[in-house]
Amino acid sequence: MDFPERFSNLPEYAFPRLRALLDHHRPGGVPVSMSIGEPRHEMPHFLAEVLTTHLNRFAVYPSNEGIPALLKAIQGWFARRYGCSVAPENLMVLNGTREGLFNAALALCPEAKRGKKPVILTPNPFYQVYAVAALAVGAEPVFVPATRTTGHLPDYAALPQETLDRVAIAYLCSPANPQGAVAHEGYLRDLIALAERHDFRVFSDECYSEIYRDSPPPGALQVAQAMGADPERVVVFNSLSKRSNLPGLRSGFVAGGPESIRRIRQLRAYAGAPLPEPLQHVAAAAWADEEHAKASRARYQQKYALADRLLAQVPDYVGPEAGFFLWLPVADGEAAALKLWQETGIRVLPGAYLSREVDGHNPGHGFIRVAMVTPIDELEDALRRLRICLYT
């Protein structure tokens, strides 16, 4: 029996790889999970009542595009957060943004670009669904270093003209997972202008947009509207997983130009799994409320200060601008993760599991990713033990 080749060279996904690395070794202390970006701040307290009120709506098929209340709540959030006007027909509700980041490529990537195989650009390291989406549509994935040299964001403009002319989609994650770098307005303007010149779309993954130190990161749609760019040029993804501590809700959205969203909706009508209507009401209530997001952000800001204080003497330590990951330099990420597990019980992710080797170099090799999702007292103890284990 034949099987497809297009996914045959995928490496094992990050977390099965981590289990294979660590789980046949005994932890050196009480296990502390800092490998998965699963927020552990409390959920908004008012959502249980919302869910209870709408429980009877589990008896109906849910709206694929999103119920009016949810679309209106997302519109309101865009207006408050970015000063953007987003029409309902320019929004689509998602069952988590991973689904959207994948399916948007299926819906929007052309079969050819200027008569040649299209290119999909991906920062390196990156959220792994970007690469799988490129392979699924038969595009050539091009992994572009996002390292300290480039401000931990990809320098797409430095690519050869021949490559840029074949680009159909460029993924961007800001705030970046794993490095916590922010694409500020100038970067976004330059990227959108590059996309205009070479006629490609920017897929902006903004799931960490509400977790930051001081100034809220700008959004790609906000900048594109201010520039007067083609409305189809930018497609933005966000969710409640990080903002509202609701990863299990699986509620996200995609926003873009009317034709882009029409095509995503058309594909999703055939192949998507709509979010159950009671959960859409819960999501609407969460998007409409800012107070819980502010309280959660304040806790992360305390964690930034704690990490800066405890890790200040670590060579080349740079605290994140946003998000909740530490991207810590080590000699070898796998060796460091294994040592940390065996000696302390702290579980972190080797950076190489989030990146690809290009020209013999993997930009994540010399890093570990540490998720600052535990309660702050537990985080303080874990970071002290991590520092002693790896840096003294």
pLDDT tens readout for residues 57-104: 999 999 999 999 999 999 999 999 999 999 999 999 999 999 999 999
pLDDT per position as a tens digit, 116-127: 999 999 999 999
> pLDDT tier at 26 (50, 70, 90 boundaries)?
very high
Burial status of residue 63 (CB atoms within 10 A of its CB: 0-12, 13-18, 19 or more):
middle
**Residue 228 region, left (φ>0) first, then alpha (ψ -120 to 50), else beta?**
left
Give the position of tokens 């090799």: 365
Position 4 scores a pLDDT of: 84
- Residue 379: name the closest of 272, 307, 290 by CA: 307
How far apart (Å, rounded) are the C-alpha atoms in residues 144 and 123? 5
Q: In the prediction, which pLDDT does 10 show?
A: 82
Confidence of residue 6 (pLDDT cuts 50, 70, 90): confident
pLDDT value at residue 3 = 85
Q: In the chain, what is the greatest distance between 2 CA atoms, to the nearest angstrom?
A: 59
pLDDT at 280: 98
For residues 224-249, average pLDDT: 97
Structure confidence by residue, pLDDT tens digits, 181-225? 999 999 999 999 999 999 999 999 999 999 999 999 999 999 999
pLDDT at 339 over 90: yes
Instruction: Examine the pLDDT at 1 and tell me if it is beyond 90.
Output: no
Mean pLDDT (whole number) for 361-369: 97
**What pLDDT was estimated at residue 52?**
97
Give the percent of the chain with pLDDT over 70: 100
Residue 366's pLDDT is what?
Answer: 98
What are residue 327's DSSP bridge partners?
369
Whether residue 5 has pLDDT greater than 90: no
Residues in CB range of 339: below 8 A, 6 or more apart? 389, 390
| Domains of the chain (ranges, CATH numbers) | 14-42+292-391 (3.90.1150.10), 47-289 (3.40.640.10)
Name the pLDDT band for 40 (thresholds 50, 70, 90): very high
pLDDT confidence bin for 226, thresholds 50/70/90 = very high
- At 47 the pLDDT is 97
Give the pLDDT of residue 242. 97
User: What is the side-by-side strand order in the sheet with 367-371?
Assistant: 325-329, 367-371, 349-350
Residue 11: predicted pLDDT = 85
pLDDT in tens, 283-314: 999 999 999 999 999 999 999 999 999 999 99
Report, as an integer, the average pLDDT of 139-147.
Answer: 97
Q: What is the pLDDT of residue 259?
A: 97
Question: What does pLDDT average to over the chain?
Answer: 96
Please list, in sequence order, all residues whose beta carbon lies within 8 angstroms of the beta carbon of residue 383, skipping any fewer than 6 positions away: 306, 307, 310, 311, 370
The whole model's pTM is what? 0.96
Instruction: Compute the chain's Rg from CA coordinates.
Output: 21
